[in-house]
Amino acid sequence: MSAASSCVETMTGSELLRTTEKILPAEVKVKCFYSVKDGALNVTSSDSELTIISINNLVPPTLTVNPLVIIETDSVTLDCQPPSSVSVTDCYFFIGGGSQARRFNCQKRLKAEMILSLTQRRSPANFHVTCFYLDGHQSPNSNMLTIIIQIPPPELIVNPQLITETDLVTLNCGTPSSVSVDKCFLYFITSKIPRIISCEQTMSGRELLMMTFQTSPAEVELTCYYTVKKTDGGQHQSPNSNLLTIIIQIPPPELTVTPQLITETDSVTLNCRTPSFVSVDKCFLNFITSKITKVISCEQTMSGRELLIMTFQTSPAEVELTCYYTVKNTDGGQHQSPDSNIQSVMINKVKELDSTTSQGVSTFSMTAS
């Protein structure tokens, strides 16, 4: 028994060896008790539990773990590095705070599912890991590291990825079948806003624009994640899914042609109808045959002869055309709408005066008296 001391005592390994008259390697078994005065008497407590302190001259190994954060389908490398003066191939690992050391090669690659099986736990979970080696006797434990095994990330599927404001898009946050999912969330990168959704959700382009505080044309970047319920009633969040982008275009215009059958001298009205909620800058006609584009009023009247000249044709001819419009970007540039539907204008020759009509005109003759 040591001399009377304070209830907190700091001692070196050498002092413990001298006190117990032991030499390396050694195990020093320690208990403690305390005393109180009861009048003139000293009353002592019961002994504490026994603690064993191992003392040796071995250098502890260095533990590295790569990577520290994994999911159930990943693997992790445990590298227990004894000092270069020690020649050992096997090391012993304490995984998950258990009292049983697992014997592996000093560099061991373990699957996450094996760690979960050894510790009889399920993801998500954190596991403390230390290691030691044997060289005549047991080395001190290495540094402690923590392996985090997360639940697997979902896979985000978007169909289609190119839409207009009025179109619908299906967002499928595909969660693993092995996990009991509580809720799914969309996370919008630009606005940094998460939104609870069904794990498969249909939304319009306009809804996506409102959620991200954007106007078309726009790119909406998003990921998804899900949560599972913890045993204590809390929530655990999965890693984010893959990143996808939805491109929301301004809607195409609708081209109407009235009438569709004309002669060279007739006129035709071309109406490039743009959406009412879009601030249009310019409208354009696109002639398919000649591949010529012309700036027009969004509603324009043209003659058959003008259409023939623009398309390098002569009557009779068919003129195929579409239209599109532009809007100004916030940076001062232009954004072009998709093309409208295709329309055709049939242009015939001007009809000549009918010969029978000219023969039927009355003629008068004058005779001299």
- Tens-digit pLDDT profile for residues 17-61: 888 888 877 888 999 888 888 877 888 889 999 998 888 778 899
Alpha carbons 191 and 196: distance in angstroms, whole number = 15
Alpha carbons 128 and 167: distance in angstroms, whole number = 51
pLDDT for res 356: 45
Tell me the mean pLDDT in the region 140-155: 92
pLDDT for res 73: 84
> Has residue 96 got a pLDDT over 90?
no
> Has residue 369 got a pLDDT over 80?
no
Which domains, from first to last, does the chain contain? Answer: 13-55 (no CATH), 62-150 (2.60.40.10), 155-249 (2.60.40.10), 254-348 (2.60.40.10)
Give the lowest-confidence range in 88-97, 145-154, 220-229, 273-282: 273-282
**Judging by beta carbons within 10 Å of its beta carbon (0-12, 13-18, 19+), is residue 324 exposed, middle or buried?**
buried
Helix (H) / strand (E) containing 24: none
- The residue with greater pLDDT, 64 or 15, is 64
Asked if 71 and 150 touch (Cβ cutoff 8 Å), the reply is yes
Tell me the mean pLDDT in the region 195-211: 92
pLDDT for res 363: 41
> Has residue 207 got a pLDDT over 50?
yes
What is the helix, strand, coil percentage profile of the chain, to 5? Answer: 10, 45, 45
**What Cα–Cα distance (Å) separates residue 297 from each residue in 212, 239, 273, 283?**
33, 52, 11, 6
- Of the pLDDT bands very low, low, confident and very high (cuts 50, 70, 90), residue 331 is confident
Give the lowest-confidence range in 59-63, 130-134, 321-325, 361-365: 361-365
Percent of the chain with pLDDT over 70: 93
- Of the pLDDT bands very low, low, confident and very high (cuts 50, 70, 90), residue 352 is low
Average pLDDT score over the chain:
87
Helix (H) / strand (E) containing 142: none
- The residue with greater pLDDT, 156 or 177, is 156
pLDDT for res 267: 94
- Of the pLDDT bands very low, low, confident and very high (cuts 50, 70, 90), residue 103 is very high
Alpha carbons 241 and 222: distance in angstroms, whole number = 9
pLDDT for res 44: 86
> Has residue 5 got a pLDDT over 80?
no
- The residue with greater pLDDT, 11 or 234, is 11
Asked if 340 and 272 touch (Cβ cutoff 8 Å), the reply is yes
Alpha carbons 191 and 169: distance in angstroms, whole number = 19
> Has residue 359 got a pLDDT over 50?
no
With a threshold of 0.75, does the pTM exceed it? no
Alpha carbons 267 and 358: distance in angstroms, whole number = 28
Q: Kindly give, in sequence order, each residue whose CB lies less than 8 Å from that of residue 49, ignoring residues fewer than 6 positions away.
A: 31
- Of the pLDDT bands very low, low, confident and very high (cuts 50, 70, 90), residue 358 is very low
Phi, psi (5° rounding) for residue 334? Answer: -120, 145
